[in-house]
Amino acid sequence: MIRILHVVSAMNRAGTETMLMNYYRHIDRTIIQFDFAVSSKELNDYEDEIISLGGRLIRYPRYTGLNHIKYIKWWKEFLSTHEEYQIIHGHIGSTAAIYLGIAKKYGRFTIAHSHGKWGKLSLHQTLYMIYSYRTRFIADYFFGCSMDALLTRYGKKIALNSQRSRVLNNAIELERYSFNESVRKEMRQELGVEENCFVLGTIGRFCKEKNPYFTLQIIEKMKKQGILFKFVWIGIGPMMDSVVNIITKKKLSDCILLLGLRDDIPQLLQAFDAFILPSLSEGLGIVAIESQAAGLPTICSTYVPNEVGITNLVSFIDLDDMDKWINKIIESIGVERANTYNQIYDAKYDINENAMWLSNFYTTIFQKGRFEQ
């Protein structure tokens, strides 16, 4: 049994964590076992499932800067007493240079995994870049959810080196997303949506990167134009209270369904007629892959990587052109549902094939000490 230690902040229902669970469910667990180092003290969304699959959650101290010495000490003590972890797969970029650097000193194989790219640089992102920069000189291997994510975090010299870097697709169970008319009717009935009502929606955290205020502008403009629609909003996050206040103030409650966290995304997407992703920053935007797998017209901002454009269902629109967003949404009303299974499979987003590759990657570096492409 090869135990892989994934270093994350928490195992809740967010993009990186959901991607990891997709791989965890489909990897051969008689050979490979995933464990997760988390800094979250609370019960994690995926915690029970991880334990049921044979995994462990190990809690390490959250890095604050003020506890720098304590943080280093914890990782040294942990790695010196847990030799079962020969491969450390790091998903937290801000402190990767610290914990992966310690892992290297203890003779472990190290993987740095980038899940994002920069949008408009803020002070927080600038500091992140400074803290994470040394990682490119430490890790043995580099993964990214897109080429943009690799280039942003690690630079061209590493991103374009096929021996050490790889775009690991945020793969999905394609069969679960394929359009199903009976599931569509069932979900729309559950949501209380009329048969002739246009359903637009999005999935993501209520945070700055997902641009929720822009989404509210879209909803407000559609309502003013008298379009019969419901907007389905899936997710939670730090800006949710602010968004709810605006919804109440602008009297938009009658056309919005706030669903919070859901574990039935493939089924819910069947009820949609179109999907939007107006993000200010995305490493990839896996939800846009999922929406295409469900056959939905998918409208993204130009900050979403081009790799998302697998099918002709995808449009990329500048956030400065609100009229174009509204027109593109209106164009999607009444569009016949597409079958995109083969296109997305050919683009290598099938979880079964990707999990097989990842299993081979882990076992090869574990047995040989290096991976040959």
With bands split at pLDDT 50, 70 and 90, how would you rate the model's confidence at 130? confident
Residue 197 has pLDDT above 70, yes or no: yes
SS3 199: strand
Choice among 107-111, 133-137, 247-251 with the minimum mean pLDDT: 133-137
With bands split at pLDDT 50, 70 and 90, how would you rate the model's confidence at 347? very high
Residue 200 has pLDDT above 70, yes or no: yes
Q: How far apart are CA 9 and CA 20, in angstroms?
A: 13
Domains defined for the chain, CATH in brackets: 2-171+350-368 (3.40.50.2000), 174-346 (3.40.50.2000)
| Closest by CA position to 7, among listed 83, 93, 127, 74 | 93
Task: Give the model confidence (pLDDT) of 82-118 as tens digits.
Answer: 999 999 999 998 899 999 999 999 999 999 999 977 6
Beta bridge pairs of residue 166: 143
Percent of the chain topping pLDDT 70: 97
> Residue 19 corresponds to which tokens in the numbers above?
């991607």
Q: How far apart are CA 99 and CA 78, in angstroms?
A: 11
Task: Give the model confidence (pLDDT) of 165-189 as tens digits.
Answer: 999 999 999 999 999 999 999 999 9
pLDDT of residue 152: 87
| Alpha-carbon distance values, 192 to 54, 138, 179, 255 (Å) | 39, 53, 20, 12
| Neighbour count for residue 67 (Cβ, 10 Å) | 13
pLDDT of residue 85: 97
Q: Is the dihedral of CA 47, 50, 55, 60 positive or negative?
A: negative
Percent of the chain topping pLDDT 90: 86
